[in-house]
Amino acid sequence: MIDLIIDLLLLFCVVLTAAIVYTKDLLLAVVLAGAEGVLVAAIFYLLLAPDIALVQVAAGVGISTAFFIVGLRKLGRREE
Amino acid sequence: MLLDIWKVSRLVTEIFLFIGIFLLVLGGALSIIGSIGLLRFPSYFLRIHAATVSVIGGSVIPLIGVAFLSYGVHGNDGVVTSLGAIGTAVFIALTAPVSSHAIAKAASKMKISRQPLEHDHMEEDGR
Amino acid sequence: MLDIILILSLTMFIISITISLYRMIVGPTIPDRMLALDVVSYALTVVMGIIAVMSGSPYLIVISFSLALWFFIGALYVARYLEGEQIGD
């Protein structure tokens, strides 16, 4: 059961990564990267590594989103 | 002798187990209902309603169920998990309306609503 | 009996996460996707709680609280960007 959930979450990660690569809206890419950070943290948690999951949650959801949005305000939202 | 008062009887443990199972299954059903509403509602301001069902009904209630279930299964060893689950439930119940309201206010300023509103109180107040 | 109930509720939350991730991929605007991310994040919080009960270790429930906290901060950052105010640089 746990193996099946891990495989499903990895499939969602592949789909989200493809959406991040092919989008032109940079804010959308940041939001999708936050979602992928949540899913990767859940995978680490299901593999019974809670310390790595703690760091992944803090870095992938909170700090990465904050830094990218502060940078996005300087650069503009659209990619040519 | 004084600590014997903390040894719960077997009946209390069984009652906690059944309360936990009931809350957990109820929360799962509410979460699926909220997700289907999130999939099928046509506009953003209607989807907030479904997301609220899925967050409060599908997260706070199952976490309280997890707290009961942990004490029912593991006994006194599961007190830490139980207190953590109750703390997480209280935190979600306090902060999920705040973030949802912040994004809804931003969406109202972006004017993404498909149909024109009859009364826009934020426009009338000049905010 | 208890294992069957736990696996049943785990399956229900995984179905909910799947439907919400479909809305996140096809959602028309950014607030729709943030709403879907809200549902996914808090459902994963409950999944982590169920795994903590199944495992029996007292260290596993901390990640659930941490996920709720950091998602709240990220959602506030995205909302402040959409509203057009200054974040503080």
Per residue in B5-20, pLDDT (tens digit) is 555 567 778 888 889 8
What is the model's pLDDT at position C89? 43
Chain B CB contacts of C13 below 8 Å? 28, 31, 58, 62
Among B21, B47, B59, select the one facing C42 at the smallest CB separation.
B59
Q: What range defines the domain where residue B49 resides? A: 10-110
In chain A, which residue ranges form alpha helices assigned H by DSSP? 2-22, 26-46, 50-57, 64-75
Residue B122 has pLDDT above 80, yes or no: no
Nearest to B58 by CA among B94, B28, B17: B28
Please indicate if any CB of chain C lies within 8 Å of the CB of A48.
yes
Q: Do A50 and C60 touch (CB under 8 A)?
A: yes
Task: Say if residue C6 is exposed, middle or buried (CB neighbours under 10 Å; 0-12, 13-18, 19+).
Answer: buried
> Distance (Å, rounded) from C-alpha A78 to C-alpha A17?
19
Chain C CB contacts of A12 below 8 Å? 18, 21
Per residue in B37-85, pLDDT (tens digit) is 988 888 888 888 888 999 999 899 999 999 998 888 887 888 888 999 9
Q: Which two three-digit tokens encode residue B97? A: 């309306």
Query: What single-letter amino acid sits at A71?
Result: G
Q: Hey, which residues 15-54 in chain C have their CB within 8 Å of chain B?
A: 15-16, 19-20, 22-23, 29, 31-32, 34-36, 38-39, 42-43, 45-46, 49-50, 52-53
Whether residue B18 lies inside any domain: the answer is yes
What is the model's pLDDT at position B2? 47
Whether residue B120 lies inside any domain: the answer is no
Which ranges of chain C have pLDDT less than 50?
Answer: 88-89
How many other β-carbons are positioned within 10 Å of the β-carbon of residue C69?
18
The DSSP line for C27-39 is -SSHHHHHHHHHH
Among A57-61, A67-71, A74-78, which stretch is predicted with the lowest mean pLDDT?
A74-78
B27 — pLDDT class (breaks 50, 70, 90) = very high
* Residue C19 distance to chain A (closest CA, Å): 11
Percent of chain C with pLDDT over 70: 94
Chain C CB contacts of B110 below 8 Å? 29, 31, 82
| Domain extents in chain C | 2-83
What is the model's pLDDT at position C88? 47
| Domain extents in chain A | 2-75
In chain C, the residue whose alpha carbon lies closest to the alpha carbon of A71 is C89
Domain count, chain B: 1
- From the CB coordinates, do chains B and A have 3 or more pairs under 8 Å? no
Residue A69 has pLDDT above 80, yes or no: yes
Give this prediction's pTM: 0.88
